[in-house]
Amino acid sequence: MPVSLIIGSQWGDEGKGKIVDLISEEVDIVARYQGGANAGHTICWGDEEFVLHLVPSGIFRENVTCIIGNGVVIDPVAMMEEIDMIKNLGYKVDGRLLVSHNAHLIMPYHKKIEEAREKALEKGAIGTTGRGIGPAYVDKFARVGIRVVDLLDRDVLRRKLTVSIQAKNEILEKVYGAEKLDVEAIIDEYVQFDQLIDPYVTDTAHYIGRALRDGKRILAEGAQGSLLDIDHGTYPFVTSSHPTAGGCSTGLGIPPTAIDRVIGIVKAYCTRVGNGPFVTELFDEVGEHLGKAGAEFGATTGRPRRCGWLDLVALNYSSMINGFTELSVTKLDVLSGLDELKICAQYSFNGNIMDRFPSEAHILEQVEPVYKTFPGWKEDISGASTMDDLPRAAQEYISFIEQETGVRVSMVSTGPKRSQTIQR
Ligand code: GDP
Ligand code: IMO
Ligand code: MG
């Protein structure tokens, strides 16, 4: 069957970029379906490391066509910068990157409104990436958004932008007491994108429809993570899109019946950037160790990521929503050197055991993790190429994940590079 899906099973930064880059060797198309430049997907080979925010992580495989689908919100400035970066590395982009004409745009006023709103929320702030994601999706759903296709007609763009900026200026000034934006300056900047973006724009849903008919293999690359999903995540501490499996269908126009492989990317422990409940968060030296050994700093914002033990209550919830057909466990090497390891297999709430993940943030704030303890291992596992190369304790850690989720672990990642992966 033609469509595979890569999904972050936790709060993002599970190592999706690495796995997409790895698997894209075997596919024809890699497509992003939601989110925007809030994503930071890292790809490593040799001694080089690249972070992609908008362009799909298949771009470094020359056989692959990359698609930015209708469900993505696109900051044209960020996108052109990224295209230049990739071209400067010597990769062909023209003819290999297609951008949906229906995708909505992120404009400077979206970032301004986000900044003002986060500031006004004070302690209740979401801790967003500041990329204008929320306000851009607000406009999309309020049916006042500006789309990629609008960039191609200067008169249309001028008309729509004028109306939009004037409306946003009212909000900025009257609600947030913030500075107004210069209508003409923004219009002058964005009308330039018509020729720059034109070569990439197409009806990507039709392109994908044809590709499916022709038997092409498609890999859909989720951004963020399932627990940041606007419907299924820890609302309101979520992003404004659908990183979960359903988002793939609406965000690309892929029928659900075409999807047969749903790969959940699971970091061997948990991290979270930004605010919101995190049951297994560690505030001790083990948490510090995970942050240090795992280099847990945001690939988009550089913020330190909060770290904690693996949470199987959350993972089982994520698996239920996404229907994972297999799991890919990443960053197992980061656990090396710890005396003992813990996995949260249940929650306790008001003294009662709870197996259900409560996505309600206020309940999640109150539950306590119930841990199962595992022996650690001291060996460096970053060179392992089969499961048998792993210490017994590491094998048992993976087996426990399979046993508790009922989903096969098909890949184990033991380092950031392509070669540091066990494929089973
Ligand atoms: P994404 O957003 O899910 O693509 O993940 P990020 O790129 O934001 O964060 C994952 C980080 O871990 C990146 O720096 C990767 O290079 C790195 N990484 C991925 N897999 C592994 C692994 O198995 N071991 C280690 N040590 N690092 C990894
Ligand atoms: P990748 O694709 C981790 C988090 C932000 C914040 C919340 C809302 O690299 O896994 P937003 O800017 O989206 O409105 O912020 O979501 N967030 C991410 N956390 N990885 C990401 O992407 C994220 N994208 C957004 O930190 O808590
Ligand atoms: Mg990331």
- Ligand 1 and 114: CB distance under 6 A: no
Assign 3-state DSSP to the chain and report helix, strand, coil percentages, each to 5: 40, 20, 40
Which of 21, 41, 101, 150 is an active site residue? 41
Contacting residues for 384 by C-beta, under 8 A, at least 6 apart? 390, 412, 414, 422
Instruction: Output the six-digit token pair for 226.
Output: 């399932």
Ligand 1 mean position to 238 CA, how many Å?
21
pLDDT for 1 equals 60
The rounded mean pLDDT for the chain is 96
Nearest residue (by CA) to ligand 2, atom 16, is: 239
Which ligand is located closest to the Cα atom of residue 305? 2
Known catalytic residue: 232? no
What is the pLDDT confidence band of residue 113, given thresholds at 50, 70 and 90? very high
Helices marked H in 347-391: 361-364
- SS3 (DSSP) at 141: helix
- SS3 (DSSP) at 147: strand
- Ligand 1 and 40: CB distance under 6 A: yes
pLDDT for 289 equals 96
- Ligand 2 and 224: CB distance under 6 A: yes
pLDDT for 298 equals 86
Mean pLDDT of 94-116: 97
Ligand 1 pocket test, candidate residues 42, 55, 296, 422, most atoms within 8 A of CB: 42
- Ligand 1 and 129: CB distance under 6 A: no
Report which secondary-structure segment, H or E, holds 219.
strand 218-221
Mean pLDDT of 113-139: 96
- Ligand 2 and 15: CB distance under 6 A: no
Mean pLDDT of 153-170: 96
Measured distance CA(354)–CA(347) in Å, rounded: 5
Ligand 2 mean position to 128 CA, how many Å?
7
Which ligand is located closest to the Cα atom of residue 234? 2
CA 332 to chain centre: 20
pLDDT for 263 equals 98
Model confidence at 300: pLDDT above 90 = no
pLDDT for 352 equals 96
- Ligand 1 and 224: CB distance under 6 A: no
310-360 pLDDT, tens digit each: 999 999 999 999 999 999 999 999 999 999 999 999 999 999 999 999 988
- Ligand 1 and 41: CB distance under 6 A: yes
Ligand 1 mean position to 118 CA, how many Å?
28
Mean pLDDT of 31-56: 95
Ligand 3 mean position to 5 CA, how many Å?
17
- Ligand 1 and 14: CB distance under 6 A: yes
Helices marked H in 92-132: 108-121
Please identify which residue in the block is written with the tokens 């191609």: 152
Which ligand is located closest to the Cα atom of residue 297? 1
- Ligand 2 and 12: CB distance under 6 A: yes
Q: Which residues of 99-115 are buried (b: 16+ CB within 10 A; e: fewer)?
A: bbbbbbbbbbbbbbbbb
pLDDT for 374 equals 98
Ligand 1 mean position to 369 CA, how many Å?
25
Ligand 1 pocket test, candidate residues 331, 333, 335, most atoms within 8 A of CB: 331
Ligand 3 mean position to 402 CA, how many Å?
24
pLDDT for 46 equals 81
Measured distance CA(305)–CA(275) in Å, rounded: 10
Instruction: Output the six-digit token pair for 325.
Output: 């057909």
Mean pLDDT of 95-102: 98
Known catalytic residue: 13? yes
Phi, psi (5° rounding) for residue 399?
A: -60, -40
Ligand 1 mean position to 3 CA, how many Å?
24
235-285 pLDDT, tens digit each: 999 999 999 999 999 999 999 999 999 999 999 999 999 999 999 999 999
Which is it for the CA torsion 308, 312, 317, 322, positive or negative? positive
What is the pLDDT confidence band of residue 48, given thresholds at 50, 70 and 90? confident
pLDDT for 195 equals 95
CB 373 within 8 A of CB 291: no
pLDDT for 232 equals 97
User: Which atom of ligand 1 is least distant from the CA of 49?
Assistant: 16
pLDDT for 301 equals 85
Ligand 2 pocket test, candidate residues 52, 126, 129, 297, most atoms within 8 A of CB: 129
Measured distance CA(58)–CA(96) in Å, rounded: 10
